[in-house]
Amino acid sequence: MRPPRANALRDAWCGELGDEQVGQQARVAGWVHRRRDHGGLIFIDLRDRSGLLQLVFHPETDPELFALAERLRPEHVISATGELLRRDEANVNPEMATGTVELSVSGCEQLAASETPPFPIDEDGPVDEVTRLKYRWLDLRRAAMAEALERRSQVTTTMRQVLEERDFIEVETPVLTRSTPEGARDFLVPSRMAPGDWYALPQSPQLFKQLLMVAGFERYFQIARCFRDEDLRADRQPEFTQLDIEMSFVEEDDVIELSEAVMGEVFRNVGFELAPPPWERIPWDEAMLRYGSDRPDRRFGMEIVDVGPRLDGSEFKVFQSVLDSGGVVRALNAGPREMSRSELESLNEVVQRHGAKAVAPIVVGDGGWTGNLARFFTDSQVASVNEALGASDGDLLCFVADSAAVAPVAIGALRIDLAERFGLLEGAGHDACWVVDFPMFEAGDGGGLTALHHPFTAPLGDLDDPAALRSRAYDLTVDGVEIGGGSIRISTPEVQERVFEIIGLDAGEARERFGFLLDALRFGAPPHGGIAFGLDRIVALACGRESIRDVIAFPKTASGSDPLTGAPGPAEPQQLRDLGIRQAPPPDPKP
């Protein structure tokens, strides 16, 4: 860090002082991190943003100064002056960056007092999350949170540097906009000046960045705030931040190469040990077959195999009825594992959360299969499956039979659950890969088709056969976490109108909601594409945090509330009247 501008409060950072400054006068300021009274000497670890420095108060130097030190308590704010001394060899603290020196205090001023914090600031022990968020200003003083926000700033700085070196322009796009189909519910904002009409907070800057390409800017980026009204989890917040990128006159390889340049430099700068790019590209069909997920975690084996053709014609009616109805049987080899009956039964709960009915576990023994299910399969079927799964005596084989849509996802979730149970991710290192060649559409809730990514993604194939279309989309996954996704966009109005038609938007609705985009595409739209990276997820990975709430300064809880401010909260009656809104009684809770 650069030295602070010298003033009456400080002229040095606590964490930057060391052996080179021994014998010099220094003036530091910060918070009392710890205080230790050794009966004749008082030691205080002073904390500022840069780190810790030990201060020592001598009673013979100044009795009033020593009396002040006796009154100081954790989180009091002080400014102290003194000579930097080298510690005796026996008193060196190797766990502190400044552990070889200390400041012999000759002057000190208390700048602010502090009440006793509701949890220790000098420890990173577990604290109830609601309490942490209610007193977030104190939680942010703790080392783990301070480190996360420093790392977050480092990530965004690196992103900007790499993009600016490649002639990208940073452009802000509106936060108050119109609702668009992005896959989640919008947050709506009423308009006082247009009663009855509503703005929507953007789920992404998708349409605006496409318009910037039509406008001729060619290379755009933005650290954008985005909003989605959806159920929350560890890697999802109602408001989040993404690096948004768009480029003109490009194809997939161009966007992927740029993305690898940005993310490769980000991970290198934060010390995240990932193989340098280029990273492997895996077709979507292959990812779903081998890993049961379009964000595959490849840090361990246990790959999934389609064993349906090898078991077709067996006497096991559960498998055969699934195959006869057009379903699939997928299996994995969990290795030589011993699991109790109750543990095996708990595997059913994993796949049931993803729509499957059950897991069929079979243990390999003496080259064959053991257990009640073994008798339903011929020796040739057993040998064929064992060969496909690389099975040996003692291995636990897990089978899931269901529809072609359900079985891959269910056994993919089982694969991750087993890896966590058996500790396969411990010390596994890190892995990155691209998933490409996605389907263009998937089945919607109402029986029609909906865009798998979004309806502005360029399709590949015959538009008259929508179900068979692929898309020019690509996602980047690190350690089983999707950190970025994008596509080459539709750049002609005819194709865009046809895609709207396929997802159920008639011409009138498409014109009403997206007329500005369709018009723009008629005024010389270049081929263009882009990608967006989830900043919160990237920082969480870099910091080794399981929840993105631990890398966001002021997040919401899992229920979407903010214990710090009390949001969301009621509006004043006059505010509602100004907006022409009448508040209805809340709906009855679901039984």
For 348-383, what is each residue's pLDDT tens digit? 999 999 999 999 999 999 878 998 899 999 999 999
Write down the mean pLDDT value for the chain: 95
Structure tokens that stand for 68 in this block: 């002040």
What does the pLDDT read at residue 183?
A: 63
Whether residue 446 is predicted with pLDDT greater than 80 in this model: the reply is no
Topology annotation, domain 14-112: OB fold (Dihydrolipoamide Acetyltransferase, E2P) (2.40.50)
What does the pLDDT read at residue 18?
A: 96
Give pLDDT tens digits for 305-357.
Answer: 999 999 999 999 999 999 999 999 999 999 999 999 999 999 999 999 999 99
The secondary structure of residue 373, as a DSSP letter, is G
What does the pLDDT read at residue 85?
A: 97
Structure tokens that stand for 87 in this block: 């510690």
Q: Which amino acid is at 381?
A: Q
DSSP string over 20-88: GGTTSEEEEEEEEEEEEE-SS-EEEEEEETTEEEEEEE-TTT-HHHHHHHHH--TT-EEEEEEEEEEPP
Structure tokens that stand for 384 in this block: 């064929």
What does the pLDDT read at residue 1?
A: 87
Identical topology for domains 145-281+436-552 and 300-428: no
pLDDT band, very low/low/confident/very high, at 447 (cuts 50, 70, 90): confident
Of 3.40.50.1980, 3.30.450.20, 3.40.190.10, 3.30.930.10, the CATH number of 145-281+436-552 is 3.30.930.10
Q: Give the Cα separation of 396 and 411 in Å (integer).
A: 14
- Residue 212: which H helix or E strand, with range? helix 206-214
Q: Give the Cα separation of 512 and 240 in Å (integer).
A: 28
Q: Give the Cα separation of 530 and 473 in Å (integer).
A: 10
CATH number for region 300-428: 3.30.1360.30
**Any idea where the domains of the chain sit in the sequence?**
14-112, 145-281+436-552, 300-428
Give pLDDT tens digits for 107-129.
Answer: 999 999 999 999 999 988 899 99
Whether residue 481 is predicted with pLDDT greater than 60 in this model: the reply is yes
Burial 51-65 (b: 16+ CB within 10 A, else e): bbbbbbbbeeebeeb
Give pLDDT tens digits for 48-103.
Answer: 999 999 999 999 889 999 999 999 999 999 999 999 999 999 999 999 999 999 99
Burial 386-410 (b: 16+ CB within 10 A, else e): beebebeeebbbbbbbbeeebbbbb
Q: Give the Cα separation of 101 and 83 in Å (integer).
A: 10
Torsion, CA 282, CA 288, CA 292, CA 296, rounded to 10: 20
Whether residue 38 is predicted with pLDDT greater than 90 in this model: the reply is no
What does the pLDDT read at residue 334?
A: 97
The C-alpha R_g of the chain, in whole angstroms, comes to 30
